[in-house]
Chains A and B, each alone.
Chain A
Protein backbone atom coordinates (compact mmCIF):
# COMPACT_ATOMS: atom_id res chain seq x y z
CA UNK A 1 0.00 0.00 0.00
CA UNK A 2 1.15 3.55 -0.74
CA UNK A 3 0.12 7.00 0.40
CA UNK A 4 0.62 10.64 -0.52
CA UNK A 5 -0.08 13.75 1.55
CA UNK A 6 -0.57 17.18 0.01
CA UNK A 7 -2.10 20.44 1.26
CA UNK A 8 -5.46 21.55 -0.08
CA UNK A 9 -5.49 25.30 0.25
CA UNK A 10 -4.64 26.69 3.67
CA UNK A 11 -6.74 24.71 6.08
CA UNK A 12 -6.78 21.08 4.99
CA UNK A 13 -4.74 18.17 3.68
CA UNK A 14 -5.42 15.47 1.16
CA UNK A 15 -4.29 11.89 1.91
CA UNK A 16 -4.38 9.59 -1.10
CA UNK A 17 -4.24 5.87 -0.28
CA UNK A 18 -3.52 3.28 -2.96
CA UNK A 19 -3.67 -0.51 -2.82
CA UNK A 20 -5.31 -3.20 -0.69
CA UNK A 21 -5.74 -2.10 2.90
CA UNK A 22 -5.07 -5.59 4.25
CA UNK A 23 -2.72 -6.43 7.13
CA UNK A 24 0.45 -6.32 5.04
CA UNK A 25 -0.57 -3.16 3.20
CA UNK A 26 -1.49 -1.22 6.33
CA UNK A 27 1.55 -2.43 8.23
CA UNK A 28 3.78 -0.86 5.60
CA UNK A 29 2.44 2.68 5.96
CA UNK A 30 0.56 3.07 9.24
CA UNK A 31 3.35 4.31 11.49
CA UNK A 32 4.86 6.71 8.96
CA UNK A 33 1.49 8.09 7.91
CA UNK A 34 0.56 8.65 11.54
CA UNK A 35 3.78 10.52 12.20
CA UNK A 36 3.28 12.76 9.19
CA UNK A 37 -0.35 13.47 10.04
CA UNK A 38 0.57 14.44 13.59
CA UNK A 39 2.61 17.24 12.01
CA UNK A 40 -0.33 18.31 9.83
CA UNK A 41 -2.86 20.93 10.84
CA UNK A 42 -6.47 21.25 9.73
CA UNK A 43 -9.06 18.93 8.26
CA UNK A 44 -8.13 15.80 6.30
CA UNK A 45 -9.73 14.48 3.13
CA UNK A 46 -8.87 10.82 2.49
CA UNK A 47 -9.08 9.75 -1.15
CA UNK A 48 -9.87 6.03 -1.33
CA UNK A 49 -10.56 5.75 -5.06
CA UNK A 50 -7.66 3.34 -5.51
CA UNK A 51 -8.40 1.14 -2.51
CA UNK A 52 -10.28 -1.97 -3.65
CA UNK A 53 -10.25 -3.77 -0.29
CA UNK A 54 -10.48 -2.48 3.27
CA UNK A 55 -9.76 -4.96 6.04
CA UNK A 56 -10.09 -4.46 9.77
CA UNK A 57 -6.63 -2.92 10.11
CA UNK A 58 -7.38 -0.45 7.32
CA UNK A 59 -10.54 0.58 9.14
CA UNK A 60 -8.58 0.89 12.35
CA UNK A 61 -6.11 3.19 10.60
CA UNK A 62 -8.92 5.44 9.34
CA UNK A 63 -10.46 5.62 12.80
CA UNK A 64 -7.07 6.45 14.27
CA UNK A 65 -6.67 9.28 11.75
CA UNK A 66 -10.16 10.55 12.64
CA UNK A 67 -9.40 10.45 16.37
CA UNK A 68 -6.06 12.15 15.85
CA UNK A 69 -7.73 14.93 13.87
CA UNK A 70 -10.48 15.20 16.49
CA UNK A 71 -7.95 15.76 19.26
CA UNK A 72 -6.69 18.86 17.50
CA UNK A 73 -10.21 20.11 16.71
CA UNK A 74 -10.23 18.98 13.08
CA UNK A 75 -12.34 16.43 11.17
CA UNK A 76 -11.88 14.01 8.32
CA UNK A 77 -13.96 12.97 5.33
CA UNK A 78 -13.56 10.37 2.59
CA UNK A 79 -13.95 10.55 -1.16
CA UNK A 80 -13.99 8.04 -4.00
CA UNK A 81 -14.90 5.04 -1.87
CA UNK A 82 -15.50 1.99 -4.07
CA UNK A 83 -18.94 0.35 -3.68
CA UNK A 84 -17.70 -2.86 -2.07
CA UNK A 85 -15.68 -0.86 0.47
CA UNK A 86 -18.55 1.52 1.11
CA UNK A 87 -20.76 -1.48 1.91
CA UNK A 88 -18.29 -2.51 4.63
CA UNK A 89 -18.21 1.05 5.99
CA UNK A 90 -22.01 1.17 6.09
CA UNK A 91 -22.19 -2.12 8.00
CA UNK A 92 -19.80 -0.61 10.55
CA UNK A 93 -21.59 2.75 10.59
CA UNK A 94 -18.19 4.21 9.83
CA UNK A 95 -19.78 6.92 7.73
CA UNK A 96 -21.28 8.31 10.97
CA UNK A 97 -17.75 9.03 12.10
CA UNK A 98 -16.11 9.78 8.75
CA UNK A 99 -18.55 11.18 6.20
CA UNK A 100 -18.27 10.19 2.57
CA UNK A 101 -18.50 12.83 -0.15
CA UNK A 102 -18.66 12.44 -3.92
CA UNK A 103 -15.61 14.63 -4.54
CA UNK A 104 -13.02 16.76 -2.79
CA UNK A 105 -14.93 20.03 -3.08
CA UNK A 106 -17.98 18.42 -1.50
CA UNK A 107 -15.81 16.91 1.22
CA UNK A 108 -14.28 20.29 2.06
CA UNK A 109 -17.71 21.92 2.12
CA UNK A 110 -18.85 19.19 4.50
CA UNK A 111 -15.87 19.66 6.80
CA UNK A 112 -15.98 23.44 6.84
CA UNK A 113 -19.76 23.67 7.03
Chain B
Protein backbone atom coordinates (compact mmCIF):
# COMPACT_ATOMS: atom_id res chain seq x y z
CA UNK B 1 0.00 0.00 0.00
CA UNK B 2 1.53 3.34 -0.94
CA UNK B 3 1.20 6.56 0.97
CA UNK B 4 -1.79 7.73 -1.02
CA UNK B 5 -3.70 4.53 -0.51
CA UNK B 6 -3.04 4.87 3.18
CA UNK B 7 -4.56 8.32 3.00
CA UNK B 8 -7.70 6.84 1.54
CA UNK B 9 -7.85 4.21 4.22
CA UNK B 10 -7.86 7.02 6.76
CA UNK B 11 -10.65 8.81 4.92
CA UNK B 12 -12.79 5.70 4.85
CA UNK B 13 -12.29 5.33 8.58
CA UNK B 14 -13.48 8.87 9.12
CA UNK B 15 -16.41 8.19 6.86
CA UNK B 16 -17.43 5.29 9.08
CA UNK B 17 -17.22 7.60 12.09
CA UNK B 18 -19.55 9.98 10.34
CA UNK B 19 -22.19 7.35 9.84
CA UNK B 20 -22.11 5.56 13.15
CA UNK B 21 -20.96 7.80 15.94
CA UNK B 22 -23.34 9.79 18.01
CA UNK B 23 -22.29 13.05 19.52
CA UNK B 24 -22.13 11.33 22.89
CA UNK B 25 -19.55 8.80 21.79
CA UNK B 26 -17.52 11.51 20.08
CA UNK B 27 -17.63 13.52 23.28
CA UNK B 28 -16.43 10.45 25.13
CA UNK B 29 -13.55 10.06 22.69
CA UNK B 30 -12.65 13.69 23.30
CA UNK B 31 -11.88 12.74 26.90
CA UNK B 32 -14.99 14.05 28.58
CA UNK B 33 -15.38 12.58 32.07
CA UNK B 34 -18.70 10.96 32.77
CA UNK B 35 -21.03 12.34 35.41
CA UNK B 36 -23.84 14.78 35.96
CA UNK B 37 -23.85 18.40 34.80
CA UNK B 38 -23.72 19.99 38.22
CA UNK B 39 -21.17 22.78 38.06
CA UNK B 40 -18.33 20.64 39.39
CA UNK B 41 -14.81 21.14 38.12
CA UNK B 42 -13.17 18.67 35.75
CA UNK B 43 -9.49 18.44 34.85
CA UNK B 44 -7.74 17.71 31.54
CA UNK B 45 -4.35 17.27 30.05
CA UNK B 46 -4.47 18.45 26.44
CA UNK B 47 -1.97 17.02 23.98
CA UNK B 48 -1.95 18.75 20.60
CA UNK B 49 -2.01 16.30 17.73
CA UNK B 50 0.28 16.61 14.70
CA UNK B 51 -2.87 17.19 12.71
CA UNK B 52 -6.51 17.16 13.62
CA UNK B 53 -8.10 17.70 16.98
CA UNK B 54 -6.05 17.82 20.18
CA UNK B 55 -6.19 14.78 22.45
CA UNK B 56 -7.95 15.65 25.72
CA UNK B 57 -7.24 13.31 28.61
CA UNK B 58 -9.42 13.54 31.70
CA UNK B 59 -7.63 13.45 35.05
CA UNK B 60 -9.94 11.65 37.44
CA UNK B 61 -9.45 9.73 40.68
CA UNK B 62 -7.03 7.16 39.23
CA UNK B 63 -3.43 8.45 39.04
CA UNK B 64 -1.98 8.53 35.51
CA UNK B 65 1.59 7.51 34.77
CA UNK B 66 3.12 9.19 31.72
CA UNK B 67 5.89 7.22 30.07
CA UNK B 68 7.40 5.89 26.87
CA UNK B 69 5.86 2.41 26.98
CA UNK B 70 2.78 0.67 28.36
CA UNK B 71 1.51 0.11 30.97
CA UNK B 72 1.88 3.90 31.30
CA UNK B 73 -1.62 5.35 30.98
CA UNK B 74 -0.36 8.11 28.68
CA UNK B 75 2.28 6.82 26.27
CA UNK B 76 4.50 9.44 24.63
CA UNK B 77 7.04 8.45 22.00
CA UNK B 78 10.65 9.59 21.93
CA UNK B 79 14.00 8.59 23.38
CA UNK B 80 13.93 11.64 25.68
CA UNK B 81 10.89 10.18 27.45
CA UNK B 82 11.64 7.71 30.25
CA UNK B 83 9.72 4.45 30.50
CA UNK B 84 7.97 5.78 33.63
CA UNK B 85 8.54 9.50 33.35
CA UNK B 86 6.11 11.25 35.67
CA UNK B 87 2.80 10.86 37.49
CA UNK B 88 -0.33 12.99 37.44
CA UNK B 89 -2.86 12.60 40.23
CA UNK B 90 -5.61 14.45 42.03
CA UNK B 91 -5.02 16.17 45.36
CA UNK B 92 -8.48 17.25 46.40
CA UNK B 93 -9.69 19.81 43.88
CA UNK B 94 -6.24 20.22 42.39
CA UNK B 95 -3.99 18.24 40.07
CA UNK B 96 -0.44 17.33 41.08
CA UNK B 97 2.54 16.44 38.88
CA UNK B 98 5.41 14.32 40.21
CA UNK B 99 8.60 13.40 38.35
CA UNK B 100 9.38 9.68 38.70
CA UNK B 101 13.16 10.03 38.47
CA UNK B 102 13.15 10.58 34.71
CA UNK B 103 16.48 10.96 32.92
CA UNK B 104 15.64 14.19 31.14
CA UNK B 105 13.32 15.78 33.65
CA UNK B 106 9.75 17.05 33.75
CA UNK B 107 9.18 20.76 33.19
CA UNK B 108 6.29 23.03 34.18
CA UNK B 109 6.19 26.41 32.44
CA UNK B 110 9.85 26.01 31.52
CA UNK B 111 11.13 25.04 34.99
CA UNK B 112 12.29 21.53 35.88
CA UNK B 113 10.35 20.24 38.84
CA UNK B 114 12.22 18.67 41.76
CA UNK B 115 9.24 17.82 43.93
CA UNK B 116 5.49 17.21 43.52
CA UNK B 117 3.99 20.35 41.97
CA UNK B 118 0.40 21.59 41.95
CA UNK B 119 -0.64 22.69 38.47
CA UNK B 120 -2.22 26.04 37.73
CA UNK B 121 -4.87 26.30 34.99
CA UNK B 122 -3.07 26.65 31.65
CA UNK B 123 0.24 25.25 32.90
CA UNK B 124 2.48 23.92 30.12
CA UNK B 125 4.05 20.54 30.86
CA UNK B 126 7.09 19.53 28.83
CA UNK B 127 8.04 15.87 28.74
CA UNK B 128 10.80 15.09 26.25
CA UNK B 129 9.73 16.66 22.95
CA UNK B 130 6.05 16.77 23.98
CA UNK B 131 4.08 19.64 25.44
CA UNK B 132 0.82 19.10 27.30
CA UNK B 133 -1.45 21.79 28.66
CA UNK B 134 -3.35 21.46 31.92
CA UNK B 135 -6.94 22.76 31.90
CA UNK B 136 -9.49 22.91 34.68
CA UNK B 137 -13.03 23.61 33.55
CA UNK B 138 -16.54 23.59 34.89
CA UNK B 139 -18.27 20.49 33.59
CA UNK B 140 -20.67 22.56 31.47
CA UNK B 141 -17.77 24.30 29.75
CA UNK B 142 -16.07 20.97 29.15
CA UNK B 143 -19.24 19.56 27.59
CA UNK B 144 -19.50 22.56 25.28
CA UNK B 145 -15.84 22.17 24.28
CA UNK B 146 -16.39 18.46 23.60
CA UNK B 147 -19.41 19.25 21.45
CA UNK B 148 -17.38 21.77 19.42
CA UNK B 149 -14.58 19.21 19.02
CA UNK B 150 -17.19 16.78 17.74
CA UNK B 151 -18.46 19.31 15.18
CA UNK B 152 -14.93 20.00 14.00
CA UNK B 153 -14.22 16.27 13.66
CA UNK B 154 -17.34 15.85 11.54
CA UNK B 155 -16.45 18.82 9.35
CA UNK B 156 -12.92 17.46 8.90
CA UNK B 157 -14.29 14.10 7.88
CA UNK B 158 -16.61 15.70 5.33
CA UNK B 159 -13.85 17.79 3.74
CA UNK B 160 -11.67 14.68 3.53
CA UNK B 161 -14.43 12.69 1.92
CA UNK B 162 -14.81 15.26 -0.86
CA UNK B 163 -11.15 15.38 -1.86
CA UNK B 164 -10.45 13.52 -5.09
CA UNK B 165 -8.23 10.43 -5.06
CA UNK B 166 -4.65 10.75 -6.27
CA UNK B 167 -4.06 9.78 -9.91
CA UNK B 168 -1.21 7.32 -10.32
CA UNK B 169 -1.49 6.40 -14.02
CA UNK B 170 -2.06 8.16 -17.32
CA UNK B 171 -0.73 11.27 -19.03
CA UNK B 172 -1.61 13.47 -16.02
CA UNK B 173 -0.84 12.14 -12.55
CA UNK B 174 -1.58 13.86 -9.25
CA UNK B 175 -0.20 13.46 -5.72
CA UNK B 176 -1.22 15.54 -2.74
CA UNK B 177 -0.95 16.06 0.98
CA UNK B 178 -3.74 17.58 3.04
CA UNK B 179 -3.09 18.10 6.73
CA UNK B 180 -5.89 20.05 8.40
CA UNK B 181 -5.00 22.06 11.48
CA UNK B 182 -6.84 21.48 14.75
CA UNK B 183 -9.36 24.27 14.19
CA UNK B 184 -9.75 23.59 10.42
CA UNK B 185 -8.35 26.22 8.08
CA UNK B 186 -10.81 26.13 5.16
CA UNK B 187 -8.48 24.62 2.54
CA UNK B 188 -9.83 22.55 -0.33
CA UNK B 189 -8.75 21.46 -3.79
CA UNK B 190 -9.94 19.40 -6.68
CA UNK B 191 -9.34 18.36 -10.27
CA UNK B 192 -11.13 16.64 -13.08
CA UNK B 193 -10.51 15.34 -16.59
CA UNK B 194 -12.90 16.34 -19.37
CA UNK B 195 -11.87 14.82 -22.69
CA UNK B 196 -8.72 16.59 -23.83
CA UNK B 197 -8.80 18.89 -20.84
CA UNK B 198 -7.52 18.60 -17.29
CA UNK B 199 -8.63 21.25 -14.78
CA UNK B 200 -7.30 21.73 -11.24
CA UNK B 201 -7.77 24.25 -8.45
CA UNK B 202 -6.85 24.98 -4.87
CA UNK B 203 -8.68 27.33 -2.52
CA UNK B 204 -8.24 28.74 0.96
CA UNK B 205 -11.16 30.29 2.88
CA UNK B 206 -10.47 33.30 5.12
CA UNK B 207 -10.52 32.44 8.80
CA UNK B 208 -10.65 29.13 10.63
CA UNK B 209 -13.20 26.78 12.13
CA UNK B 210 -16.31 24.92 11.14
CA UNK B 211 -17.68 27.98 9.29
CA UNK B 212 -14.61 28.19 7.05
CA UNK B 213 -14.75 24.44 6.42
CA UNK B 214 -18.45 24.63 5.54
CA UNK B 215 -17.70 27.41 3.07
CA UNK B 216 -14.93 25.40 1.43
CA UNK B 217 -17.28 22.40 1.20
CA UNK B 218 -19.91 24.57 -0.52
CA UNK B 219 -17.39 25.65 -3.13
CA UNK B 220 -16.07 22.11 -3.59
CA UNK B 221 -19.56 20.84 -4.26
CA UNK B 222 -20.15 23.52 -6.86
CA UNK B 223 -16.85 22.64 -8.52
CA UNK B 224 -17.45 18.89 -8.36
CA UNK B 225 -20.82 19.26 -10.00
CA UNK B 226 -19.51 21.92 -12.39
CA UNK B 227 -22.56 23.87 -11.33
CA UNK B 228 -21.55 27.33 -12.47
CA UNK B 229 -24.36 28.52 -14.75
CA UNK B 230 -23.28 29.26 -18.30
CA UNK B 231 -19.60 28.94 -17.44
CA UNK B 232 -17.02 27.13 -19.53
CA UNK B 233 -14.90 25.25 -16.96
CA UNK B 234 -11.98 25.42 -19.40
CA UNK B 235 -11.90 29.22 -19.05
CA UNK B 236 -10.16 30.08 -15.74
CA UNK B 237 -11.14 33.76 -15.79
CA UNK B 238 -14.79 32.85 -16.37
CA UNK B 239 -14.71 30.27 -13.56
CA UNK B 240 -13.28 32.75 -11.04
CA UNK B 241 -15.72 35.44 -12.18
CA UNK B 242 -18.69 33.12 -11.75
CA UNK B 243 -17.51 32.01 -8.31
CA UNK B 244 -16.97 35.64 -7.33
CA UNK B 245 -20.58 36.41 -8.23
CA UNK B 246 -21.93 33.30 -6.52
CA UNK B 247 -19.99 33.64 -3.27
CA UNK B 248 -20.15 37.36 -2.50
CA UNK B 249 -18.87 37.74 1.06
CA UNK B 250 -21.83 39.87 2.14
CA UNK B 251 -24.08 36.85 1.52
CA UNK B 252 -21.68 34.36 3.12
CA UNK B 253 -21.12 35.61 6.64
CA UNK B 254 -18.25 37.87 5.62
CA UNK B 255 -16.13 34.99 4.30
CA UNK B 256 -14.14 35.04 1.10
CA UNK B 257 -11.59 32.67 -0.35
CA UNK B 258 -8.50 32.75 -2.50
CA UNK B 259 -8.15 30.40 -5.44
CA UNK B 260 -5.73 29.36 -8.17
CA UNK B 261 -7.37 27.64 -11.14
CA UNK B 262 -5.78 26.10 -14.20
CA UNK B 263 -7.12 24.37 -17.33
CA UNK B 264 -4.69 22.30 -19.40
CA UNK B 265 -5.36 21.33 -23.01
CA UNK B 266 -3.55 18.01 -23.16
CA UNK B 267 -2.89 17.71 -26.93
CA UNK B 268 -1.28 21.16 -27.13
CA UNK B 269 0.08 21.17 -23.55
CA UNK B 270 -1.26 24.69 -23.29
CA UNK B 271 -2.16 25.75 -19.75
CA UNK B 272 -4.51 28.67 -19.08
CA UNK B 273 -4.62 29.87 -15.49
CA UNK B 274 -5.94 32.63 -13.27
CA UNK B 275 -5.80 33.46 -9.59
CA UNK B 276 -8.02 35.26 -7.15
CA UNK B 277 -5.72 36.45 -4.37
CA UNK B 278 -3.87 33.13 -4.20
CA UNK B 279 -0.17 32.32 -4.19
CA UNK B 280 1.32 31.64 -7.60
CA UNK B 281 1.57 28.02 -8.64
CA UNK B 282 5.10 26.74 -9.23
CA UNK B 283 6.02 25.24 -12.59
CA UNK B 284 9.00 22.90 -12.65
CA UNK B 285 10.62 21.37 -15.71
CA UNK B 286 12.90 18.65 -14.28
CA UNK B 287 14.61 17.96 -17.61
CA UNK B 288 15.92 21.50 -17.95
CA UNK B 289 15.93 22.32 -14.24
CA UNK B 290 13.84 25.42 -14.88
CA UNK B 291 11.52 26.64 -12.14
CA UNK B 292 9.01 29.42 -12.61
CA UNK B 293 6.01 30.95 -10.93
CA UNK B 294 2.55 31.22 -12.45
CA UNK B 295 1.07 34.25 -10.69
CA UNK B 296 -2.26 35.90 -11.25
CA UNK B 297 -3.50 39.22 -9.97
CA UNK B 298 -7.13 39.03 -8.98
CA UNK B 299 -9.57 39.84 -6.21
CA UNK B 300 -10.16 37.32 -3.45
CA UNK B 301 -13.30 35.41 -4.44
CA UNK B 302 -16.31 37.21 -3.01
CA UNK B 303 -14.53 40.46 -2.18
CA UNK B 304 -15.27 42.63 -5.22
CA UNK B 305 -18.51 42.14 -7.15
CA UNK B 306 -18.01 42.20 -10.90
CA UNK B 307 -14.23 41.97 -10.78
CA UNK B 308 -12.84 41.13 -14.23
CA UNK B 309 -10.37 38.29 -13.82
CA UNK B 310 -7.74 37.75 -16.46
CA UNK B 311 -6.21 34.45 -17.49
CA UNK B 312 -2.63 33.94 -18.58
CA UNK B 313 -1.22 31.08 -20.62
CA UNK B 314 1.92 29.00 -20.89
CA UNK B 315 2.97 25.95 -22.85
CA UNK B 316 4.18 23.20 -20.56
CA UNK B 317 7.31 21.24 -21.51
CA UNK B 318 7.40 17.45 -21.51
CA UNK B 319 7.66 16.02 -18.02
CA UNK B 320 6.58 19.30 -16.42
CA UNK B 321 5.34 19.40 -12.84
CA UNK B 322 2.86 21.89 -11.49
CA UNK B 323 2.71 22.55 -7.75
CA UNK B 324 -0.30 24.22 -6.07
CA UNK B 325 -0.29 25.05 -2.37
CA UNK B 326 -2.13 26.93 0.35
CA UNK B 327 -1.10 29.54 2.96
CA UNK B 328 -0.24 26.80 5.45
CA UNK B 329 2.77 25.82 3.34
CA UNK B 330 4.10 29.38 3.08
CA UNK B 331 3.08 31.35 6.17
CA UNK B 332 4.72 29.83 9.22
CA UNK B 333 4.98 31.21 12.75
CA UNK B 334 7.30 34.16 13.35
CA UNK B 335 9.81 32.13 15.33
CA UNK B 336 10.65 29.43 12.77
CA UNK B 337 14.29 28.44 12.65
CA UNK B 338 15.10 30.13 9.33
CA UNK B 339 13.54 32.50 6.79
CA UNK B 340 10.65 30.89 4.96
CA UNK B 341 8.57 31.96 2.02
CA UNK B 342 7.69 31.26 -1.60
CA UNK B 343 11.31 30.73 -2.66
CA UNK B 344 11.91 28.08 -0.02
CA UNK B 345 8.61 26.35 -0.78
CA UNK B 346 9.53 26.18 -4.47
CA UNK B 347 13.02 24.92 -3.67
CA UNK B 348 11.66 22.11 -1.51
CA UNK B 349 8.99 21.08 -4.00
CA UNK B 350 11.46 21.06 -6.89
CA UNK B 351 14.23 19.17 -5.08
CA UNK B 352 15.48 16.01 -6.81
CA UNK B 353 13.38 12.95 -6.14
CA UNK B 354 10.29 11.09 -7.23
CA UNK B 355 7.57 13.43 -8.47
CA UNK B 356 4.98 12.16 -5.98
CA UNK B 357 7.21 12.78 -2.97
CA UNK B 358 7.21 16.59 -3.22
CA UNK B 359 4.11 17.35 -1.10
CA UNK B 360 5.15 15.03 1.71
CA UNK B 361 8.76 16.25 1.58
CA UNK B 362 7.56 19.85 1.96
CA UNK B 363 5.28 18.88 4.83
CA UNK B 364 8.15 17.23 6.70
CA UNK B 365 10.27 20.34 6.14
CA UNK B 366 7.56 22.68 7.40
CA UNK B 367 6.98 20.52 10.47
CA UNK B 368 10.70 20.44 11.27
CA UNK B 369 10.96 24.22 10.89
CA UNK B 370 7.99 24.57 13.21
CA UNK B 371 9.81 22.41 15.78
CA UNK B 372 7.17 19.73 15.29
CA UNK B 373 4.50 21.91 16.88
CA UNK B 374 1.00 21.58 15.44
CA UNK B 375 0.48 23.93 12.51
CA UNK B 376 -1.75 27.00 12.81
CA UNK B 377 -3.30 26.59 9.38
CA UNK B 378 -4.29 23.81 7.00
CA UNK B 379 -1.42 22.50 4.91
CA UNK B 380 -2.41 21.58 1.36
CA UNK B 381 -0.03 20.82 -1.49
CA UNK B 382 -0.94 19.34 -4.86
CA UNK B 383 1.58 18.16 -7.47
CA UNK B 384 0.51 17.51 -11.06
CA UNK B 385 2.95 15.49 -13.18
CA UNK B 386 2.71 15.44 -16.97
CA UNK B 387 4.17 12.84 -19.34
Partner of A60, one of B204, B254, B297, B376: B254
Known: A55-B331, A57-B207, A93-B299. A63 touches B249 (CB 8 A): yes
Q: Is A96 an interface residue (CB 8 A)?
A: yes
- The CB with the most chain A CB atoms within 10 A, among B278, B279, B297, is that of B297
Known: A56-B327, A63-B249, A64-B254. A92 touches B300 (CB 8 A): yes
Quote the shortest CB–CB distance from B174 to chain A (angstroms). Answer: 25
Residue interface bits B362-387, CB-to-A below 8 A is 1, else 0:
00000000000000100000000000
Query: How long is the Cα–Cα vector from A54 to B32 in the complex, in angstroms?
Result: 37
Number of A-B contacts (CB under 8 A): 59
Task: Classify the secondary structure of A's interface with B.
Answer: helix
Query: How long is the Cα–Cα vector from A76 to B111 in the complex, in angstroms?
Result: 49
Q: Is A49 an interface residue (CB 8 A)?
A: no
Are B277 and A92 interface neighbours, CB within 8 A? yes
Q: Is B167 an interface residue (CB 8 A)?
A: no
Task: Classify the secondary structure of B's interface with A.
Answer: loop
Q: Is B106 an interface residue (CB 8 A)?
A: no
How many interface residues does chain B have, given as a range? Answer: 20 to 34
Are B298 and A60 interface neighbours, CB within 8 A? no
Quote the shortest CB–CB distance from A100 to chain B (angstroms). Answer: 15
Closest to A20 in B: B334
Are A56 and B304 interface neighbours, CB within 8 A? no
Query: How long is the Cα–Cα vector from A93 to B276 in the complex, in angstroms?
Result: 9
Closest to A97 in B: B304
- Total residues of chain A contacting the partner, CB 8 A: 17
Query: How long is the Cα–Cα vector from A55 to B212 in the complex, in angstroms?
Result: 15
Query: How long is the Cα–Cα vector from A94 to B307 in the complex, in angstroms?
Result: 11
Q: Is B160 an interface residue (CB 8 A)?
A: no
Query: How long is the Cα–Cα vector from A63 to B196 in the complex, in angstroms?
Result: 39
- In chain A, residues 82-102, which have Cβ atoms closer than 8 Å to a Cβ of chain B? 90-94, 96-97
Residue interface bits A56-91, CB-to-B below 8 A is 1, else 0:
110110011001000000000000000000000011
Q: Is B258 an interface residue (CB 8 A)?
A: yes
A selection of 23 A-B contacts at a CB cut-off of 8 Å is A23-B376, A55-B327, A56-B205, A56-B207, A56-B300, A56-B327, A57-B206, A59-B206, A60-B206, A60-B256, A63-B303, A91-B277, A91-B279, A91-B295, A91-B297, A92-B258, A92-B300, A93-B277, A93-B298, A94-B299, A94-B303, A97-B299, A97-B303
